[in-house]
Chain A
Amino acid sequence: MRRKRGCALLGITLRALLRRRLAAGLLIAVAAGGAFSAIVLQNLTLRQEAALRETIENTTITCTVTNARGTDSGNLQMLSAFVEMLVGMRRERGCDLDDYIKNVRARAEASLVKPAKVTLRRILSLDSDPALSQAEGCSVQFLDGWEESLLRGREMVCLVPPEWATADGVVTVCTEQEPPVSLQIAGIVTNGPANVIYCPYFMPWQADVSVAFLTDSCAFDIRDNHRLEESKEAIYQWFVRPNLSNQLDGLTFGVLVHDEAFQRNVARLRESLSMLRLLQPLLIVLCGGIGFFASFLATRGRTGEFAVMRCIGIGRWRTFSLIMAELLLLAAMGLLLGVVASALLEGWPPPRAWLSVLRMTAVLLLGAAFAALRITRVSIMKVMRVED
């Protein structure tokens, strides 16, 4: 019975409000505009976040190993154990650098006694040696069954210039210290460096016998750019930052992380993103203010109407509830309009946008509540006197 009466009352007051088309329209427009803006702003933020994430993930941050002073990166004379560390072969000794880096490129070379005046160049990948780059006009053709990954293995194979290709597909090499070994030809290097034979970086001279040698150059990439600082910290546990004042002890090497442009630009993009995020509360406050204004306009001319309600025994709280219900209904209509408009323009709002809309609505209603509270707190006697 009480609910029925409440509904009837709400119907009456709502009709009274709807007669004030301007105020009602303004409230609906504010709610619609607020919801639309909140969704659009949230979408902008999400889009910017996704783009930034994509940028961070797709950027390759290269690290170059230099000597400790940073004066050379091409004749490091770095023990191959360092490269083992980088590729994750020394995890049992507590080095987990390969968790932070990937795509290690290393090159080492040794003079051969046989064939005479020929160099054996150990490489971890084709891009370990700039001389094999496309820019130099060089191309590498792997023979049947072989591919570039063989350079990371320990097979006794080699890549040779075309003139070195033999009928049996084998080249015999030896150094001053090592006995002759036969390497199977796995690929042909066209227009590459003359008198150079390439082999897998970790190729042993004898099966199951590991070798130690000096590495000329080494570079690698950061595995996960989201963990850049953590990765740098891990890298600098094993390497130093190159500086001319560093001492050269032969066992210390520097690493240059080429992240300056990345850091600078990502920071700028993050700041733009922060601005978008900070605009949301601003918009919410704006909506709250306008909501209060619209509610104030919607209720201020109805003082007498509410005074009569109070005279016939309707309590202050009930009056307040009635006003809020009216405003809530109008706000809901506005929200619906805003959501539909944004869905038409930007697609269905993502969950985070709903949260933003809810926040905006709450603030809007808070503004409305202030307006409603103001009108319900007016003294009945005073109002009646004014009407007289």
Chain B
Amino acid sequence: MYNRSTKQPSERIVAGSIVYLADRDMAVTHSIQLLLKTEKIVSHVFDTGESLLNQVLKAPPACIVMDAIMPDIDGASLLKRMQKHGLQTPVILLGGNSEIPAVVDAIKSGAWDYFEKPFLQHTLIDSVRRAIALQGHL
């Protein structure tokens, strides 16, 4: 019924999907939220890893974009705890000064994508769109 192509899902389709955002730096979350809004993607911002995880367990979103190292929980632990609950929501991690082995581990343990800050806006949007499309939220 819907166009299942993962390359360019139409805007209408993405509009209903929700993305959860969390970053230590509120300026980063707000700029990503604005960016997603221009793409008609609704997002909710969380200021701690725990509040994000709690909400994810209650109502899994289409995609999660989070700081690889939130003060209270890092990306790898979040992934592990989600997987323990059988959740496969795509998680995009944002890092600053990351070491390659840590990034490799994150992707191997199931992160959908990993971007080093500062990143190009369109690369993040492309990744979010592909994650949403894959999720079957189309």
A and B bound? no
